[in-house]
Structure 1
Amino acid sequence: MSFFSCGFCSIVAKILLLSLFLAGNSFSETQFDFGTLTLTSLKLLGDAHLSNGSVRLTRDLTVPNSGAGKVLYSKPVNFRRPGTRNSASFSSFFSFSITNLNPSSIGGGLAFVISPDDQFIGDAGGFLGVMDRKNTLNGVVAVEFDTLMDTQFKDINGNHVGLDLNSMISTRVGDLEIIGVDLKSGDLVNSWVEYSGSTQMINVYVSYSNVKPKDPIISTAFDLNEYILNDFMFVGFSGSTQGSTEIHSIEWWSFSSFFDDDTGYNSVFPTGRPPPPPANLMNPTADTVKPPPPSLAPVESDHNDTAAIQEKEKNGKCHNQLCKDGPGAVVGVVTAGAFFLVFCAVALIWAYSKKMKGVKTPETLASDVIKMPREFTYKELKFATKGFDSNRVIGHGAFGTVYRGILPATGDIVAVKRCSHSGQGKAEFLSELSIIGTLRHRNLVRLQGWCHEKGEILLVYDLMANGSLDKVLFESRMVLPWPYRHKILLGVASALAYLHQECENQVIHRDIKASNIMLDEGFNARLGDFGLARQIEHDKSPDATVAAGTMGYLAPEYLLTGRATEKTDVFSFGAVVLEVASGRRPIEKEVIGVGKVGVSSNLVEWVWSLHREGRLMVASDPRLGNEYHEEEMRRVLMVGLACSHPDPMARPTMRVVVQMLVGEAEVPIVPRTKPTLSFSTSQLLMTLQDSVTDLNEIITISTSSSENSFTCGGSSHGLDLV
């Protein structure tokens, strides 16, 4: 009886102790989700607002805007036991989407945030609303989902996850390109953020699927206690834009936190780390997101096949002659069968080629016009671009629109160029196909493949993570550092040297400009858009055509004669060089007074005038401050002037330009006064007669009966076309 009493007392004591423990810890455990939250449970700051059951962190604007918003759980969460250094474990699951009404604009991104303050909101752009430029608020831990590559914060690209500990320079980074997730695709993205207080490990998972991936995109150890300021912190999300129309929506959120006991044993979860959220806390709409296609099942090897045969023989279950003859017979039969099939295939191909020889139609692009890495189907490219959704448009090239796409078979993110439906547009696309399909250079945008179905011509290119050069120069909040600028110019020069002098047939691009220079994740230049390009045999004179391209980049003789040569490409490159060095567009409108109409300023003319006055360095971009080597800047500006010389014969070749940029060749002496270029009347008339189009639609020539020459670029008596 006494034994029973003691046992009963022991049980009662344990129950009381457990009750006291749970009572003491009930205040320290937090759990909620979007299904249980009310309006009073959320605190909206800045641009954050509610929209159809979701929380939007940024404004729904069709015009570019720079702003930030934040949403927080209104009650502080206990992340550290008072009077101790024991940090809590927590698990958070959330679904979000990032869309852009104007995908060509630069984004910002969003972040899962643990903050000591429920009133503070950080700056826009790369700061994601987490911190401000002065780093006023300390004690912030964030997991960023960044859509803006910012060299200030050493970002790897514009599509990554990062762990931020009291700094916007991420301690750990995960590249989402590797797992095929595109933050800016507009698709619903799921993420799991899990931290264990006992093991001090954080794991971040990202997927399109509702099923948590096996491997985290970020897994690292850090002591949460060292970075949080208070025992109680606020948890939520922040997001920002930077001169863009990016919209950040939180569609679902669940969160739970708890403490391990003093021995490191998790009283709720014995595994020592928080589990994934239960199914009832998952986003009920996440299953509508199509997960990446499963990989094909592995094909069993011959070794496994023969082993199975031997096993069947051993068990007396193999009675046919093939099994009895053993693996040698299997190999013989397979070899003979394969040989027979190959022979039949070769015979059929030979017969078909004989039948089709000499028969060519515009539809037989695959064999005669282009030699591409791959032919895509229209169905898969339509699916990749969500039916060529306008929200997927990332740019407009020569005679076509470019869409962001995700290939369903591989998850690769690509740029899909769709030709305009005009006859001229298709002709330009066929030209682009036939030219770029044979080109291979590290500084050219790589063509992955093509499609010609349903009257459509589609080109599939590698997607460049940092967009076009003009966007980075003029629309980004960050200032592109000088080393990056120099590397970009050298890359473009190398690509042009390849096109002009290293290809079997010379390629004249005809549309060299900043918007056609793309930048990959390392800010390496990739020249693209060959819609206006022409192929000619080396040392052959090109035909005259309508002058095509963009004002400010066009050589004066090209405007006058319509003949595009490698020297006209060199002039365009010179304009790009001056644009990159000065941070000014080739043609800019300048306001001449209050209420007065602006006038156009030509960059090439402006730099020539500074050179004449002995003030060439004034042309350097003032935003760079003193963060460049003066002699290198001077050299680059002189290269730009040498390339934009009015006389095409005085311009260097692109091979020589490359040597000048790397310091292996001296820049030729550029005269202080801009030279003039004269055409005799007879020469000009002969050129005009050779043209295939009436150039009077492009240029207007005003002459008098006493004039006998036209002057480009210097004299007021002639035609100034620069």
Structure 2
Amino acid sequence: MAPTILLVFLLLLFNSPSLTLSENISFDFPSFTARNITLLGDSHLKNGVIGLTREIGVPSSSSGSLVYENPIRFFDQESNITASFSTSFSFSINSLNSGSFGDGLTFFLSPDNQTLGSPGGYLGLVNSSEPNKNKFLAIEFDTKLDTEFNDPNGNHVGLDIDELDSIMTADAGLQNIDLKSGNLITAWIDYKNDLRVLNVFLSYSSLKPPTPLLSVDIDLSHYLIDDMFVGFSASTEGSTEVHLIHSWRFKTFGFLPVRSKSHPHNVSDSSVTEISEFPVSNSTEKHHNRLGLGIGIAGPAFFFVVLAVFGYVSVKKWKDTRVEKGLKAEILTGPREFSYRGLYAATRGFHSSRIIGHGAFGNVYKAVFVSSGDVGAVKRSKHSHEGKTEFLAELSIIAGLRHKNLVPLQGWCADKGELLLVYEFMPNGSLDKVLHPEPENSVLLAWSHRQNIAIGLASVLAYLHQECEQQVIHRDIKTSNIMLDGNFSPRLGDFGLARLMDHDKSPVSTLTAGTMGYLAPEYLQYGKATEKTDVFSYGVVILEVACGRRPIEREVNSQKMVNLVDWVWGLHGEGRIFEAADKKLNGAFEEEEMRKLLLVGLSCAHPDSAERPSIRRVLQILNNEANPIAVPKMKPSLVFSCSLTVEDIVSDDEESKTTA
């Protein structure tokens, strides 16, 4: 058997006409010429800059596309590898008439190099008469609020796949970027296939920001299966908005390295790496010499390679089996184990249309179990070390917790390289979607429900902080992690960032995790997660519930960003705290109850952690079992607790390296 295998190996090695592994590709346009690109529709070239739409002084409808002329391979069948990619480009969006803006531009990947869609909200990507015909993956830079596509505002970035209703969006204003400013903006779009994450960065400078504006946990290998064309599109409708692309870089990476030689591309604007072929001689004598030499060298080498591969596979399989058995043994008495096949079918193969949320752990999918008719929510890991860590953290914590205001865990699955948790489906979604609904899906959250949410959340935090065998610090309390059941009762979820600790131990030092706007100042400063940092986040959530405003949002008719805690505290100092109440309630609340809720929120969001009440005290106040806490009229200056020593801050260095 061994000689046969060896002979086949040698025949493949010496007689194969060429290698078929795909190559990584890159190109760079510091400025544009007519070479290497295709312009469609109203796009045009002027002084080394591409204009995607018409430049005229009267409102019009226009659409145009810029496409790199050569298709790019993103999937290699030989190695079964999907390439990662990275692109950066500089663009500007301006209007020849002040205030005449809309609709925006996109960077896209498409199997079609004739992508030219309709003007207006279709962004030059799809045709208005056949909106589902074109296949694409796009990052939109949208400058108009279009309710037809559930846009959050007129200054956002979003990920679109095969439709213009974005999978996920981010307000560009959160990083002080105004897409319509006319200033030169640089965008970076990075997709890492091994981490299954797509990040979008924006900046007015050429320096890449440390944190992305938009980060989406998504597996694009299902979409990058064909040769794709890359490019830009833009559109207007009844406006004079102008879309300009000034420079562009693009590259793929991640394919296996092969013997190659670099050839200059046939144009100066870009370059690619091409694979060289192994030469095959027609000389019989040379062929026999090569065959003999090959057998003498490759025979022992091939034997050791086969032995090494067999050993590696055997050890890896043994380790995986041991880990899986250990995991199953730990949670054998816990929730039920689901089959991967069943979860795959229930989520339609983890299709993007089934995504209902994004958490610290990864994407959340709606799962419909046809056999039983049940509906669940499946959380899928990021396929990374951090994802496994968070999976084990969430499973070990939530499996042992029992409280009416927690999202019930139904089961789990660790198979096919996947880490999955199955929760009970919450029909009313997350609290942030109800507090800040899309215009066409407006559901008013009644005052009684808001009071119930405040009390229920305080109750479950008191349970986590003081009633569990080991104290649980959640570390990521925010409205998107609070689900609402059929009765609008709160259910706290997403324990991917939670940490267990003994009640008599000091808090561990970790790298800061969580969401800006909800993070306590001492946590940002020291990275210390304590029950008081959870209390701060709770206070911000309560103010959000009472006021109907986000923790950080743009002031109306201004570029100024407003912090919710500062805003409410300012009204409190002026004796006008009732003006902070959500206007959508139209005064349908009891003034004293509203005042109490707002003051509880402020006391929990006190800058000094030592001045914040315990969550048990908060629960007593909300249940009228204790008097409210006096809140100073002026927000106190930022003071860090003296109980945090230098030794505390730098302790447990290894733990700090393991927490994202």
1:672 positional shift: 1.5
Tell me the equivalent position of 2:173. none
Structure 1 CA distance, aligned partners of 2:568 and 2:578?
A: 9
The equivalent position to 2:506 in structure 1, one of 515, 529, 541, is 541
TM-score between the two structures when normalised by the length of structure 2: 0.50
1:640 positional shift: 0.4
The equivalent position to 2:634 in structure 1, one of 656, 662, 673, is 673
The equivalent position to 1:405 in structure 2, one of 343, 348, 367, is 367
1:670 positional shift: 1.3
Tell me the equivalent position of 1:600. 561
Residues 1:426 and 2:391 are matched in the alignment: no
Q: Is the CA contact 1:558–1:564 (under 8 Å) kept in the aligned structure 2?
A: yes
**Which SS does the other structure have where 1:559 is aligned?**
helix
Residues 1:569 and 2:531 are matched in the alignment: no
Q: Is the CA contact 2:521–2:607 (under 8 Å) kept in the aligned structure 1?
A: yes
What is the correspondence of 1:616-635 to structure 2 with a 5 Å cutoff? 616-635=577-596
Q: Is the CA contact 1:545–1:693 (under 8 Å) kept in the aligned structure 2?
A: no
Residues 1:510 and 2:475 are matched in the alignment: yes
Tell me the equivalent position of 1:578. 543
Q: Which amino acid aligns with 1:458?
A: L
Structure 2 CA distance, aligned partners of 1:457 and 1:51?
A: 35
**Which SS does the other structure have where 2:504 is aligned?**
coil
Tell me the equivalent position of 2:195. none
TM-score between the two structures when normalised by the length of structure 1: 0.46
Deviations 1:350-404 (A, max 9, x none): xxxxxx9xx9635521112574220001010001111111111111111311000
What is the correspondence of 1:642-661 to structure 2 with a 5 Å cutoff? 642-661=603-622
Residues 1:554 and 2:515 are matched in the alignment: no
Q: Which amino acid aligns with 1:490?
A: I
Tell me the equivalent position of 1:457. 419
Q: Is the CA contact 1:103–1:394 (under 8 Å) kept in the aligned structure 2?
A: no
Tell me the equivalent position of 2:149. 63
* Residues 103, 407 of structure 1: alpha-carbon distance in 2 compared, 3 angstrom cutoff: farther
Tell me the equivalent position of 2:455. 490
Q: Which amino acid aligns with 2:499?
A: R
Tell me the equivalent position of 2:337. 375
What is the correspondence of 1:106-117 to structure 2 with a 5 Å cutoff? none
**Which SS does the other structure have where 2:653 is aligned?**
coil
Structure 2 CA distance, aligned partners of 1:653 and 1:683?
A: 18
Deviations 1:186-215 (A, max 9, x none): xxxxxxxxxxxxxxxxxxxxxxxxxxxxxx
Q: Is the CA contact 2:471–2:503 (under 8 Å) kept in the aligned structure 1?
A: yes
Tell me the equivalent position of 2:434. 472
* Residues 370, 627 of structure 1: alpha-carbon distance in 2 compared, 3 angstrom cutoff: farther
1:450 positional shift: 0.3
Deviations 1:396-436 (A, max 9, x none): 11131100011243120000111111111111111000000
* Residues 386, 414 of structure 1: alpha-carbon distance in 2 compared, 3 angstrom cutoff: same
**Which SS does the other structure have where 1:571 is aligned?**
helix
Q: Which amino acid aligns with 2:475?
A: R
Which of the two has higher C-alpha Rg? 1
**Which SS does the other structure have where 1:425 is aligned?**
helix
Structure 1 CA distance, aligned partners of 2:610 and 2:519?
A: 16
Q: Is the CA contact 1:370–1:434 (under 8 Å) kept in the aligned structure 2?
A: no
* Residues 571, 421 of structure 1: alpha-carbon distance in 2 compared, 3 angstrom cutoff: same
1:569 positional shift: 0.4
1:675 positional shift: 2.3
1:689 positional shift: 2.6
Q: Which amino acid aligns with 2:570?
A: S
**Which SS does the other structure have where 2:601 is aligned?**
helix
Q: Which amino acid aligns with 1:542?
A: P
Structure 2 CA distance, aligned partners of 1:680 and 1:642?
A: 16
The number of equivalent residue pairs is 356
* Residues 640, 369 of structure 1: alpha-carbon distance in 2 compared, 3 angstrom cutoff: same
Q: Is the CA contact 2:610–2:641 (under 8 Å) kept in the aligned structure 1?
A: no
1:677 positional shift: 4.5
Q: Which structure 2 residue ranges, 5 or more long, are not aligned?
A: 1-127, 133-145, 153-162, 170-317
Q: Which amino acid aligns with 2:554?
A: K
Structure 2 CA distance, aligned partners of 1:659 and 1:681?
A: 28
Q: Is the CA contact 2:361–2:379 (under 8 Å) kept in the aligned structure 1?
A: no
Q: Which amino acid aligns with 1:392?
A: R
Structure 2 CA distance, aligned partners of 1:588 and 1:366?
A: 45
Structure 1 CA distance, aligned partners of 2:526 and 2:363?
A: 30
After alignment, is 517-526 or 403-412 more displaced? Answer: 403-412
Structure 2 CA distance, aligned partners of 1:364 and 1:64?
A: 45
Residues 1:481 and 2:443 are matched in the alignment: no
The root-mean-square deviation of aligned C-alpha atoms, in Å, is 3.3
**Which SS does the other structure have where 1:580 is aligned?**
helix
Q: Is the CA contact 1:376–1:450 (under 8 Å) kept in the aligned structure 2?
A: yes
Q: Which amino acid aligns with 1:389?
A: H
Structure 1 CA distance, aligned partners of 2:538 and 2:352?
A: 32
Tell me the equivalent position of 1:437. 399
Q: Is the CA contact 2:508–2:655 (under 8 Å) kept in the aligned structure 1?
A: no
Deviations 1:606-664 (A, max 9, x none): 11122222221111111211210000000000110111112212211212211211212
Tell me the equivalent position of 2:357. 395
The equivalent position to 1:615 in structure 2, one of 566, 569, 576, is 576
Tell me the equivalent position of 1:522. 487
Q: Is the CA contact 1:372–1:448 (under 8 Å) kept in the aligned structure 2?
A: no
* Residues 515, 370 of structure 1: alpha-carbon distance in 2 compared, 3 angstrom cutoff: farther
Residues 1:447 and 2:415 are matched in the alignment: no
Deviations 1:288-345 (A, max 9, x none): xxxxxxxxxxxxxxxxxxxxxxxxxxxxxxxxxxxxxxxxxxxxxxxxxxxxxxxxxx
Q: Which amino acid aligns with 1:663?
A: N
Q: Is the CA contact 2:427–2:486 (under 8 Å) kept in the aligned structure 1?
A: yes
Structure 1 CA distance, aligned partners of 2:644 and 2:401?
A: 36
Structure 2 CA distance, aligned partners of 1:587 and 1:690?
A: 32
**Which SS does the other structure have where 1:364 is aligned?**
helix
* Same amino acid, percent of matched pairs: 55
Q: Is the CA contact 2:381–2:388 (under 8 Å) kept in the aligned structure 1?
A: yes
1:682 positional shift: 12
1:481 positional shift: 1.4
Structure 1 CA distance, aligned partners of 2:407 and 2:643?
A: 42
1:590 positional shift: 2.4
What is the correspondence of 1:268-307 to structure 2 with a 5 Å cutoff? none
Q: Is the CA contact 2:607–2:639 (under 8 Å) kept in the aligned structure 1?
A: no
**Which SS does the other structure have where 2:587 is aligned?**
coil
Tell me the equivalent position of 2:597. 636
**Which SS does the other structure have where 1:457 is aligned?**
strand
Q: Is the CA contact 1:577–1:640 (under 8 Å) kept in the aligned structure 2?
A: yes
Structure 1 CA distance, aligned partners of 2:443 and 2:385?
A: 41
Q: Which amino acid aligns with 1:438?
A: G
Tell me the equivalent position of 1:227. none
Structure 1 CA distance, aligned partners of 2:396 and 2:353?
A: 30
Tell me the equivalent position of 1:690. 651
**Which SS does the other structure have where 1:672 is aligned?**
coil
What is the correspondence of 1:186-225 to structure 2 with a 5 Å cutoff? none
Structure 2 CA distance, aligned partners of 1:671 and 1:369?
A: 48
* Residues 102, 459 of structure 1: alpha-carbon distance in 2 compared, 3 angstrom cutoff: farther
